[in-house]
Homo-oligomer: A and B are copies of this chain.
Amino acid sequence: MSALDSFKEKIDGRSAVIGVLGMGYVGIPLAISMANAGFRVIGFDINKPHIEGLNNNKSSIKHIPDSDIKMMKSAGFYATDDFSKTAECEVLIICVPTPLDKTREPDLSFVTATMDMISPYLRRGQLLSLESTTWPGTTTQILLPYVERAALTVGEDFYLIYSPEREDPANADFSTRTIPKVVGGYTEACLEAGTVLYESFIDTIVPVSSTEASEMVKLLENIYRSVNIGLVNEMKVVADAMGLDIFEIIDAAKTKPFGFTAFYPGPGIGGHCIPIDPFYLTWKAREFGVHTRFIELAGEINAAMPQYVVDKTVRALNQAGKSLKGANVLALGIAYKRDVDDMRESPSAVVMELLQEWGANVAYSDSNVPVFPKMRKHQFDLSSVDLNPENIAGYDAVILLTDHTDFDYEMIRENAAILIDTRGKFRDDTSVVRA
């Protein structure tokens, strides 16, 4: 039996053990899907409390219930920081973060650290898939040399693929199974092995011609979002200057049944993808002497939004004869998007920081984030305050940053001295400041 046939047999028969490297927003739902499909999954991570939590049936993600972790465990799942266990796995899927460093250049240190830890255990018959978003060429330029140093021949006794994650946390319409999966292989055999793997637990596989092509697909998806949010943020500023409400304009425009997709403005962009991924292409494009001007412009405009919100707050307070310095300001909603507990790259943290720089006393309310978490770039020693009429009335200004569904908007409107709305929730009320 050929190596490829043997690999397929292990996938089809579910005897293949799956190692998921990086048990976060991508790794956990992926592991659950594969466990659901009948695979035994091992979750690798370097965070000991997190590993312990998973081994005690604790999900670390709001929209993933503990019962899902329990189900995985009953199917043989366990989490570990012992990377020698990767030797037991036929499949290794890397789902680690790929952030930017301080100068906004790609930081692949989580990927290379993972490769450093697993490379002693790479062996014949394994498939290695990278799912982390990255620049075109990462799989062949960064991962491939590790495999070759292990004296393995990719495409013959080892399979190397790139298959971008498309997780959309808290999207109720789609799950890992129903989101089509793009797969690119280093060789034809790699692509075939990758297809066999992913089609065992995902409905639709989209093969592309190379790992570079699949890397670029994911970037294009997120560049499209970043640019369109940037565009609508710029349009917000223009509409506002003209006395128009951008949310009314967008809602009317989206009645066009073709050729228009609605994006909404906000206080900036957040999450692990949109603010970061596009710059991976910007960085790599420089090597080829080409520029990514839309990405740069979107980055610049989106990054300017927190200050725009603060400027609107300063003006509104000024109208009331107050300065922002010394004012008590309440930030409503600090997770990066509606109804999640995810603070990654949340623009609310930037707004809060700017408010503090201006001398405001900042508080926040967000039932999804009871305590302001430790973040790489931001530090607040704050807990979520309760929302009730007396509390709200006690602030000089209240800024709606993330429009969670559990806010009592009518109560907020009635009691806020100055209400600043970055989400278009109070459109017909001219006393509310659009920002």
Residues in A lying within 8 Å of B, measured CB to CB: 136-137, 166, 168, 171, 173-174, 178-180, 182, 204, 206, 208-210, 212-214, 216-217, 220-221, 223-225, 227-228, 230-231, 234-235, 237-239, 241-245, 248-250, 252-253, 255-261, 281, 284-285, 288-290, 292-294, 297, 301
Are the CB atoms of A238 and B180 closer together than 8 Å? no
Residues of B within 8 A of A180 (CB): 255-257
A231 & B224 in contact (Cβ 8 Å cutoff): yes
B178 and A257 contacting across the interface, CB-CB below 8 Å: yes
- Identify 11 new A-B residue pairs, CB closer than 8 A, beyond the known A204-B255, A209-B248, A242-B284: A180-B256, A208-B249, A213-B245, A220-B253, A223-B231, A223-B235, A225-B259, A241-B288, A241-B290, A261-B261, A297-B297
Of the A-B pairs whose beta carbons lie under 8 Å apart in the complex, a sample of 24, sorted by A's number, is A168-B258, A171-B258, A173-B257, A173-B258, A180-B256, A204-B255, A209-B245, A209-B248, A213-B244, A213-B245, A213-B248, A216-B239, A221-B259, A223-B231, A223-B235, A224-B253, A227-B227, A227-B228, A227-B294, A234-B292, A241-B290, A242-B288, A261-B261, A294-B294
CA distance A230 to B248 in the complex (A): 25
List residues of chain B with CB within 8 A of the CB of A253. Answer: 182, 217, 220-221, 224
Assess whether A238 is in contact with B173, with CB atoms less than 8 Å apart.
no
Closest chain B CB from A162 CB (angstroms): 12
Task: State the oligomeric state as a number of copies.
Answer: 2
- Give chain B residues whose Cβ lies under 8 Å from the Cβ of A244: 136, 210, 212-213, 216
Q: How far is the CA of A259 from the CA of B231 in the complex (A)?
A: 15
* Chain B residues within an 8 Å CB radius of A166: 256
Alpha-carbon separation in the docked complex, A224 to B230 (Å)? 11
Tell whether, in the assembled complex, residue B285 and residue A252 are in contact, meaning their CB atoms are under 8 Å apart.
no
In the complex, what residues of B have CB within 8 A of residue A136's CB? 242, 244
Given contacts A208-B248, A213-B249, contact A238 B294 (CB under 8 A): no
Q: How far is the CB of A247 from chain B (nearest CB, A)?
A: 11
- The 5 A-B pairs at the shortest CB distance, nearest first, are namely A241-B288, A180-B255, A217-B252, A261-B261, A241-B290
Are B182 and A216 within 8 A (Cβ)? no
Chain B residue numbers with a CB within 8 Å of A249 are: 208, 213, 216-217, 220
Cα–Cα, bound, A235→B288 (Å): 13
Q: Chain B residues near A178 (CB, 8 Å)?
A: 257
State in angstroms the CA–CA spacing of A242 and B219 once bound together: 14
Looking at A168, A178, A179, A252, which has the most chain B CB atoms within 10 Å of its CB? A252
**Does A216 contact B242, Cβ atoms closer than 8 Å?**
yes
Which residue of chain B has the shortest Cβ distance to A288 in the bound complex? B241
Name A252's closest neighbour in chain B (CB-CB): B217
